[in-house]
Structure 1
Amino acid sequence: MVVRSSPILHRDDPQKDPLVGHVKVTRSDWLNMARDVLVTEGVGEVKILGLANRMGVSRSSFYWYFKDRADLQTALLDEWEDRNSAQIIAHCQMPSHNITHAVCNFFRCFVDPAKFDQGLDFAVREWSRRDPAIRARLDQADTNRIAALTAAFAAHGYQTAEADARARILYFMQLGYHALEIHEDMDTRMSRLAPYILGFTGRPAESVALQDFLAFVADLEPR
């Protein structure tokens, strides 16, 4: 499991989700706590009473926001798709001048934690091992992500079979990179970017797109 460095209880947008009257926690608080427990301890520990105890509130407040535990779990999966799958698909669909640019758009999701929650993705994968319905939803998410990446290759002249194969190689490599929990500093990682792009695309990295991506990485604040 992934250990988070950020506080476990936080409110993403206090203006949109304020505390009112005697309410001590909001729907976002319940969802954020549940998400962090899912990531750090697994779905088995995502329990209403346990979450309430962690936040120091009565479990009765849970039912202002969710029907039951299953409703909370559905909300967690919806958030996972919004935070991860939607981001990957959107970045694959961003306008790109060449295949280097397209691949770098995809990579943006994985160098910026705000765009892809690695821990949440693998927590859902672990969850899917115990629940066929979650497995089906995960499989569909992977299918949708790969289809978007395949379309990005096809948009730059790759034939159908090759676009599909290269998309799968790139996607599975990226997930495997995270699964192995490889520790390397960003400078080392970026030093391999041009050879990676050559390997993934079969074409030399285009210099302008490469420099634009390196500038994007350099602008990211340490997280």
Structure 2
Amino acid sequence: MANKHNNEEEGSNLTTQDWLNLARETLIRDGVEAVKIDRLAKASGVTRGGFYWRFKSRHDLLEQLLDDWRSCNTVPFVSALSGAGTPAQRYRALMQLWIEEREFRPDYDTAVRNWAATSSVVADVVQTVDSVRVDALRRLFKEAGYDGNEALVRARITYYHQVGYYTLGVRQSAERRRQLSPIYYQILTGFAPDQNSGTDVISGKNTKELVG
């Protein structure tokens, strides 16, 4: 009884974010079916009772995990596109976000999309988030001077291209992606290239000679 009591007390020291961090990594690694109270509690070294210090139920945890995903992966996305600078500069900021994969985690996006395949509720949330992201891109292209339809189509092409890149599991180093970024930039945006057309828009490295 003493050990159980101690474990529950230790559970009270785990913050809500601690549990969400563990749930996030479990979701990414093993899928939503693995995000179970017993499994998370065992990984944390506490009893089930420790879990209930922070959440009412597994359903409560999963709802907050969805909110965590929206915050972690959509706020940086929209912030990059709505920050300071010209539309071209802000688009490059988004490219850098995608290449660095620090503030924006593609594996988290992929895990939630896989989860959405098993839940209509999650699928609706993903669709809403996708719409928010596409609209942020649309507004950027509209500001750059494209008419409504072309701004929307360019936004969709940019976004669907990137989602497809993650969904297909393309394996490519960050360095190689930086090398190719000027070509993607020109094709996807239609913006005029920099004066130094051989300069990588992300790293500033010369990319006139690209190797396969």
TM-score bin (small chain): 0.7 to 0.9
Which residue number corresponds to residue 121 of structure 2? 133
Tell me by how many angstroms 1:128 deviates: 0.7
- Counterpart of 1:114 in structure 2: which amino acid? R
Question: For residues 76 and 59 of structure 1, do their structure 2 counterparts lie closer, same or farther at Cα, with a shift above 3 Å needed?
Answer: same
Tell me by how many angstroms 1:195 deviates: 1.6
Which residue number corresponds to residue 106 of structure 2? 118
Is 1:29 aligned to 2:18, yes or no? yes
- Does structure 2 retain, via aligned residues, the 8 Å contact 1:48–1:69? yes
Match among 64, 79, 99 for residue 68 of structure 2: 79
Which residue number corresponds to residue 143 of structure 2? 155
Superimposed CA distance per residue, residues 136-158 of structure 1 (whole angstroms, 9 cap, x where no aligned partner) = 11100000000001101111111
- Does structure 2 retain, via aligned residues, the 8 Å contact 1:27–1:65? yes
5+ residue gaps, structure 2: 1-8, 206-212
Superimposed CA distance per residue, residues 109-130 of structure 1 (whole angstroms, 9 cap, x where no aligned partner) = 2122221111111111111111
- Does structure 1 retain, via aligned residues, the 8 Å contact 2:178–2:202? no
Is 1:52 aligned to 2:51, yes or no? no
Which residue number corresponds to residue 198 of structure 1? 186
- Does structure 2 retain, via aligned residues, the 8 Å contact 1:24–1:57? no
Paired with 1:140 and 1:214, the residues of 2 have a C-alpha distance of 33
DSSP 3-state at the match of 1:190: helix
Which residue number corresponds to residue 95 of structure 2? 107
- Does structure 1 retain, via aligned residues, the 8 Å contact 2:23–2:35? yes
Please list every run of at least 4 consecutive aligned residues from structure 1 whose deviation after the TM superposition is greater than 4 angstroms.
Answer: 20-24, 207-212
Tell me by how many angstroms 1:23 deviates: 4.4
Tell me by how many angstroms 1:102 deviates: 2.7
- Counterpart of 2:33 in structure 1: which amino acid? G
Paired with 2:73 and 2:157, the residues of 1 have a C-alpha distance of 19
Q: Which has the larger radius of gyration?
A: 2
- Does structure 2 retain, via aligned residues, the 8 Å contact 1:154–1:160? yes
Which residue number corresponds to residue 171 of structure 2? 183
Paired with 1:166 and 1:117, the residues of 2 have a C-alpha distance of 23
Identity of aligned pairs, percent?
A: 30
Match among 94, 100, 115 for residue 83 of structure 2: 94
Q: Which deviates more, 42-51 or 176-185? A: 176-185
5+ residue gaps, structure 1: 1-19, 217-223
Question: For residues 98 and 129 of structure 1, do their structure 2 counterparts lie closer, same or farther at Cα, with a shift above 3 Å needed?
Answer: closer
Superimposed CA distance per residue, residues 7-44 of structure 1 (whole angstroms, 9 cap, x where no aligned partner) = xxxxxxxxxxxxx9884533222111111111111111
